[in-house]
Amino acid sequence: MLLSVENLRHRFGGIAALDGVGFAVPEGRITCLIGPNGSGKTTLFNVVTGVLRPQHGRVSFGGIRLERLRPHQIVRLGLARTFQTTRLFPSLTVLQNVLLAAPSRVEKRNRTKALAQLELVGLAHLEDRLAEALSFGQQRLVEFARALMADPRLILLDEPFAGLAPAILDRLARLVSAMPGHGVAVLLIEHNLEVALGLAAKVFVLDRGRLIAEGTADEIRASPAVIDAYLGAPGAFSVTDDAARA
Cα 179 from Cα 154, distance rounded (Å): 9
**pLDDT recorded at residue 164:** 94
Give the mean model confidence (pLDDT) for residues 170-178: 97
Triad 117, 118, 124: Cα angle to 5°: 145
Delimit the domains of the chain by residue range.
3-86+152-238
Tens digit of pLDDT for each residue in 195-232?
Answer: 888 999 999 999 999 999 999 989 988 888 888 876 55
Asked whether the beta carbons of 149 and 98 are under 8 A apart, the reply is yes
Cα 126 from Cα 118, distance rounded (Å): 9
Residue 96 binned pLDDT confidence (cut-offs 50, 70, 90)? very high
| Residue 120 reports pLDDT greater than 70 | yes
Cα 144 from Cα 147, distance rounded (Å): 5
Tens digit of pLDDT for each residue in 25-72?
Answer: 999 999 999 988 889 999 999 999 999 999 999 999 999 999 999 999
Instruction: Please state the pTM of the whole predicted model.
Output: 0.89
CATH of 3-86+152-238, one of 1.10.3470.10, 2.120.10.10, 3.40.50.300, 3.40.50.720: 3.40.50.300
**pLDDT recorded at residue 239:** 38
